[in-house]
């Protein structure tokens, strides 16, 4: 435990926790709770709810996880709430249509991977980390319990949520179960007696419902704290694996370094604020200098945080060599089964790209080739339906600037 931070006065804790925050409802409430915690020695209960709709996390998720880690380092108890039950409903937040619900088995399988990756950021100490599943209290609820919960909030207030209003005005259907989602998520705060709830800015409405429900159940209202959605490497959309503009939490150090060097210049202030602990004065100095130098510091800071044992000099050297057109020596190798060859002994390049893990399907691989996004031994390959022979030493297949795989003949 970081004993120095645990001893910080409430006002200094507050300033630390406010870094990068968009909404804080309310600052006075958080100050009061922090002061009381110091006086009583009772840590705050800080909740983050997550529906495990995808098993893989990226730096966009790490923004909130870092804030949770700050609470942990101050001695508070964070609650990682897995919405195994609510994921079966499907939260439409920020969506123009209902998100497809998942089965209980899918949510729990995703949750396992989700938690493993969360522990890359969070302290895995039962004193400051509690993992819960909202199926514990939601699954046993009967129909009468749901009706009683629904009676505590009005339809007018639910429809104040921006995405519901837009869909209603556009004539897009809204199912009744979607209207219940904010109530269900809000009830989680009641069940956990949360002091603070964290979330992205798209979760502000749902988190405020939890604040209102706690009052209605006779509890002290939670503080709601939201953080911005990290914009992805395209500089336009929020970071998302489906948009391929993401940096994964489990990306290898050299790949993470290379991606961070490609962060658009206008996004650097946000990335420094949300993903590092560098003082703002130092960040301002870096941003006033050459962008490449700022990128280099950002890349080294983030990689060192998520990969403490990484050789940062090696990651940086690899980035430089690849930027100059070189093929790294330490790349993964895949043996290609001989039965994948055609009658002429040649192999479909699209199939090889899939086998190398560069694309999920032959169709996607052909599209990549068509868009001049694939190279063989450093040369751009342009034949979507083409094939190649594999020499004894193999060939290097490449996607983008830093994804290399050596393909060798197998048996």
Please answer whether residues 91 and 47 qualify as being in contact, where contact means their C-beta atoms are separated by less than 8 angstroms: no
List binding-site positions: 241
Dist. CA 88–CA 104, nearest whole Å: 7
Please answer whether residues 117 and 249 qualify as being in contact, where contact means their C-beta atoms are separated by less than 8 angstroms: yes
Mean pLDDT of 26-33: 96
> What is the chain's percent helix, strand, coil content, to nearest 5?
45, 15, 40
Of 105-109, 307-311, 356-360, 404-408, the range with the lowest mean pLDDT is 105-109
Q: Are residues 175 and 264 in the same domain?
A: no
Residues paired with residue 231 on neighbouring β-strands, in sequence order: 238
Per-residue pLDDT at 101:
61
Q: Are residues 126 and 19 in the same domain?
A: yes
At residue 97 the predicted structure's pLDDT band, cuts being 50, 70 and 90, is very low
Please report whether residue 242 resides in a domain. Answer: no
Q: Are residues 75 and 16 in the same domain?
A: yes
Please answer whether residues 210 and 189 qualify as being in contact, where contact means their C-beta atoms are separated by less than 8 angstroms: yes
Q: Are residues 163 and 288 in the same domain?
A: no
**pLDDT digit string, tens, across residues 262-298:** 999 999 999 999 999 999 999 999 999 999 999 999 9
How far from the centroid of its chain's Cα atoms is residue 93's Cα?
16
Q: The domain spanning residue 382 has which CATH number?
A: 3.10.290.10
Per-residue pLDDT at 90:
58
Per-residue pLDDT at 94:
46
Per-residue pLDDT at 12:
94
Q: Which of 373, 345, 346, 347 is nearest to 359 (CA)?
A: 373
Mean pLDDT of 30-35: 96
Mean pLDDT of 227-252: 88
Mean pLDDT of 27-32: 96
Mean pLDDT of 252-259: 91
Mean pLDDT of 144-151: 91
Q: How many CB atoms lie within 10 A of CB 364?
A: 14
- Residue 266 DSSP class: G
Q: Name which residue leads in pLDDT, 173 or 197.
A: 197
Per-residue pLDDT at 96:
44
Please report whether residue 328 resides in a domain. Answer: no
**pLDDT digit string, tens, across residues 377-389:** 888 999 999 999 8
3-class state of residue 331 by DSSP = coil
Residues paired with residue 387 on neighbouring β-strands, in sequence order: 348
Q: Are residues 297 and 223 in the same domain?
A: no
Residues paired with residue 376 on neighbouring β-strands, in sequence order: 379, 397
Sheet with strand 129-133: strands edge to edge: 23-25, 223-227, 196-200, 45-50, 77-82, 129-133
Dist. CA 111–CA 115, nearest whole Å: 6
Please report whether residue 246 resides in a domain. Answer: no
Q: Are residues 260 and 121 in the same domain?
A: no
How many domains does the chain divide into? 3
Per-residue pLDDT at 1:
42
- Computed over every residue of the chain, the mean pLDDT equals 88
Listed residues 305, 323, 341: the one ending a domain: 323
Interacting residues of 144 by C-beta distance below 8 A, sequence separation 6+: none
Q: Which of 48, 47, 31 is nearest to 39 (CA)?
A: 31
Per-residue pLDDT at 115:
86
Question: Which run of H or E residues covers position 290?
Answer: none
Q: Are residues 48 and 189 in the same domain?
A: yes
Dist. CA 245–CA 258, nearest whole Å: 13
**pLDDT digit string, tens, across residues 53-70:** 666 789 998 999 999 999
3-class state of residue 127 by DSSP = coil
* pLDDT of 208 over the 60 cut: yes
Q: Is the peptide bond before 202 cis (omega within 30 degrees of 0)?
A: no
**pLDDT digit string, tens, across residues 388-402:** 988 888 889 998 777
At residue 221 the predicted structure's pLDDT band, cuts being 50, 70 and 90, is very high
Please answer whether residues 206 and 164 qualify as being in contact, where contact means their C-beta atoms are separated by less than 8 angstroms: no
* pLDDT of 170 over the 90 cut: no
* pLDDT of 84 over the 70 cut: yes
Q: Are residues 257 and 184 in the same domain?
A: no
Listed residues 298, 323, 348: the one ending a domain: 323
Matching residue, tokens 């949300």: 274
Q: Are residues 276 and 341 in the same domain?
A: no
DSSP 356-401: TTS-SSHHHHHHHHHTT-EEETTEE---TT-EE---TT-EEEEETT
Please answer whether residues 352 and 407 qualify as being in contact, where contact means their C-beta atoms are separated by less than 8 angstroms: yes
Q: Is the pTM of this model over 0.75?
A: yes
Per-residue pLDDT at 91:
53
Domain that holds residue 382: 333-409
* pLDDT of 357 over the 50 cut: yes
Matching residue, tokens 């691989």: 365
Q: What ranges make up the beta strands (E) of 207-353?
A: 223-227, 333-336, 347-348
Burial 80-111 (b: 16+ CB within 10 A, else e): bbbbbbbbbbbbbbeeeebbebbeeebbbebb
List binding-site positions for ATP: 241
Q: Name which residue leads in pLDDT, 5 or 284.
A: 284
- The CA-based diameter of the chain, rounded to the nearest angstrom, is 79
**Percent of the chain surpassing pLDDT 70:** 93
* pLDDT of 89 over the 70 cut: no
Q: Are residues 191 and 310 in the same domain?
A: no
Interacting residues of 320 by C-beta distance below 8 A, sequence separation 6+: none
Phi and psi angles of residue 146, each rounded to the nearest 5 degrees, phi first: -65, -40
**Percent of the chain surpassing pLDDT 90:** 54
* pLDDT of 109 over the 80 cut: no
Per-residue pLDDT at 106:
74
Phi and psi angles of residue 163, each rounded to the nearest 5 degrees, phi first: -70, -35
Q: How many helices (H) and strands (E) does the chain have?
A: 18, 13
Per-residue pLDDT at 391:
87
Mean pLDDT of 154-164: 84
């Amino acid at each position: 435990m970081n004993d120095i931070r645990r001893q910080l006065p409430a006002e200094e804790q507050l300033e630390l926790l406010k870094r990068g925050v968009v909404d804080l409802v309310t600052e006075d409430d958080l100050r009061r709770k922090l002061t009381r915690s110091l006086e009583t020695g009772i840590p705050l209960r800080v909740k983050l709810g997550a529906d495990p709709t995808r098993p893989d996390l990226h730096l966009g998720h790490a923004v909130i996880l870092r804030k949770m880690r700050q609470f942990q380092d101050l001695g508070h108890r964070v609650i990682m709430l897995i919405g195994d039950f609510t994921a079966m409903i499907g939260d439409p937040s920020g969506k123009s249509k209902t998100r497809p619900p998942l089965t209980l088995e899918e949510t729990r399988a995703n949750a396992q991977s989700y938690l493993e990756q969360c522990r890359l950021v969070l302290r895995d100490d039962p004193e400051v980390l509690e993992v819960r599943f909202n199926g514990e209290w939601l699954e046993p609820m009967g129909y009468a319990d749901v009706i009683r919960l629904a009676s505590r909030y009005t339809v007018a207030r639910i429809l104040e949520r921006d995405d519901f209003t837009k869909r209603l005005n556009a004539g897009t259907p809204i199912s009744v179960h979607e209207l219940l989602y904010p109530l269900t998520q809000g009830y989680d705060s009641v069940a956990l007696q949360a002091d603070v709830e964290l979330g992205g800015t798209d979760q502000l409405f749902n988190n405020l419902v939890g604040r209102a429900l706690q009052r209605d159940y006779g509890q002290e209202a939670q503080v709601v704290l939201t953080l911005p959605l990290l914009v992805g490497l395209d500089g336009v959309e929020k970071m998302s694996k489906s948009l391929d503009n993401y940096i994964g939490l489990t990306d290898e150090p050299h790949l993470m370094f290379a991606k961070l060097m490609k962060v658009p210049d206008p996004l650097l202030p946000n990335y420094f604020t949300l993903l590092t602990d560098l003082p703002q004065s130092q960040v301002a100095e870096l941003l006033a200098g050459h962008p490449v130098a700022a990128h280099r510091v950002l890349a080294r800071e983030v990689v060192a945080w998520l990969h403490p044992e990484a050789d940062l000099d090696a990651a940086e050297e690899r980035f430089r060599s690849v930027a100059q057109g070189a093929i790294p020596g330490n790349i993964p190798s895949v043996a290609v089964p001989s039965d994948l060859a055609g009658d002429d002994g040649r192999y479909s390049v699209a199939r090889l790209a899939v086998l190398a893990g560069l694309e999920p399907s032959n169709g996607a691989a052909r599209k990549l080739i068509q868009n001049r996004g694939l190279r063989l031994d450093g040369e751009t390959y342009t034949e979507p339906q083409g094939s190649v022979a594999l020499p004894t030493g193999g060939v290097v297949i490449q996607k983008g600037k830093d994804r290399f795989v050596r393909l060798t003949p197998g048996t």
